[in-house]
Structure 1
């Protein structure tokens, strides 16, 4: 390669890196539509978070390690389930986005099930979750899970106490069965304070880009804060088993919560670099007899920007 070729490659790589950072910055623009009053109150309540440059640098490093973990899972045919639970607006979705952002969606997939249908309500409770469990070489992230029964279903009265008690008797053995079958089960609880949840709900109310995240059930959770607290404590006491322990992530600082969770997740697996074939771009083959056809202009997306 000539010096000019090296310079072109360097410029291209820099452009790719900047594009990657822009993508992450786009995710971070969470208060772009907030009223100045809400923004001022929120910043006073939080104080300084981790410096932006340090956050991005650490996040990119951790995401590069996640790629190694992904390759190891595929190579060794591991089966991984990661459960994300926590109060509404605790930051579960944010960390899941950062985990999956640079990974292969054919290997790492997110499961966020809606409320059960009338038919599903008549099934064995765990039945609708089983089809989403991983095969060898897959990682499944549950954005809420079977622990709905210990939380929202219990607090909001969608499950009676007999059903909740049956769940608590069943879930430890269910998870032990998963572990015995070769599935690694990791459980995270994202913890935020009463005041922090109130601020995040206010942000969602005032931000048109986030209002879809608020459901009537979310608003009811503000009224039943203590009920959720009691349900959470009972859940930890009865489902924190050695085969699948709970890990609590302090979530008031979103950036630190994401970094801490990803860093901890990586420590749970003995992943190593796996052998891979060297990739070489084949030479372009030109067919002198081929004549490219001109496509009609109506097939093209209008260039508005």
Structure 2
């Protein structure tokens, strides 16, 4: 009962899915994730890298938590790098990320990634225009090298509305257990909404042709989490896959296309 009460408190969000239905489906999907990891370790030793990007408060932490919750901690790694050191600033931009790439049999998830340079670094002017442009030119070739080396790379962008972002940031301020999630950059996220949209759109347009972006409509956290897991499982091979269970909703997770910006499927 304590676990259920805690879950209800954590999930005090408006959702089209009841907490009971969500938890039942999540458990079944997490069993599929365990099947996937067992297959990777026993049969193919794949190297899987999943990138999660999105605006502040878009739900990256919660989604990643549900993906890795029951996986082996030895072969599963969550990477969330902090502010670059002076040494990092004097090195090749991708260098500190290369050190975190998965080895054989590992499942690695990046909670933000090298795409910081296309988003927050660019918007907040932590990098120069030349560095931003060089990144957009270079990153497709960098990712092409990763794919050629055998890494399975999948990229998700969690997309939320301005009103939802504002509500979530306000909720963090009120919650004494989420104070670590508040930063000075978060305070400016809503005020700089349009600049972040412009940066996101340019990132999509220029970095989707080698490894495509998958957009997740994430206003409803429960639905978004379930569909990210389904989409991930659909795109990876493993024995005993429950094809019916893991079929994602194409209205929730879909590949980036410029038409989605024009239609409003991606928040403007």
**TM-score range for the pair, normalised by the shorter chain length:** 0.7 to 0.9
Deviation at 1:80, TM superposition (A): 0.5
1:51 aligns with 2:18: yes
Deviation digits for residues 36-60 of structure 1 (CA, Å, limit 9, x no counterpart): xxxxxxx6xx4x5202221111100
**Do structure 1's residue 267 and structure 2's residue 247 form an aligned pair?**
no
Alignment of 1:185 with 2:165, yes or no, is: no
The TM-score with structure 1 as length reference comes to 0.76
Q: What does 1:72-151 align with in structure 2 at a 5 Å threshold?
A: 72-75=39-42, 76-151=44-119
- C-alpha deviation, 1:223, in angstroms: 1.5
Q: 1:152-192, CA deviations, whole angstroms, 9 ceiling, x for partnerless residues?
A: 00000011110011101110000000000000000000000
Q: Distance in 1 between matches of 2:144 and 2:11?
A: 42
Task: Return closer, same or farther for 1:183/1:31 CA change in 2, 3 Å cut-off.
Answer: closer
Counterpart position of 1:26: 6
User: How far apart, in 2, do the equivalents of 1:178 and 1:25 lie?
Assistant: 43
Gaps of 5+ in 2: 242-268
After TM superposition, where is structure 1 displaced by more than 4 Å over at least 4 residues in a row?
Answer: 22-25
Partner of 1:156: 124
**1:236 match:** 204
Aligned residues: 240
TM-score scaled by length of structure 2: 0.86
- Of 195, 209, 215, which aligns to 1:227? 195
1:68 maps to 2:42: no
Separation in 2 of the partners of 1:27 and 1:236? 34
Contact 2:8 2:19 in 1 (8 A): no
Query: What is the Cα deviation at residue 219 of structure 1?
Result: 0.7
For residue 280 of structure 1, what is the aligned residue in structure 2? none
Rounded to whole Å, the distance in 1 between the matches of 2:140 and 2:3 is 40
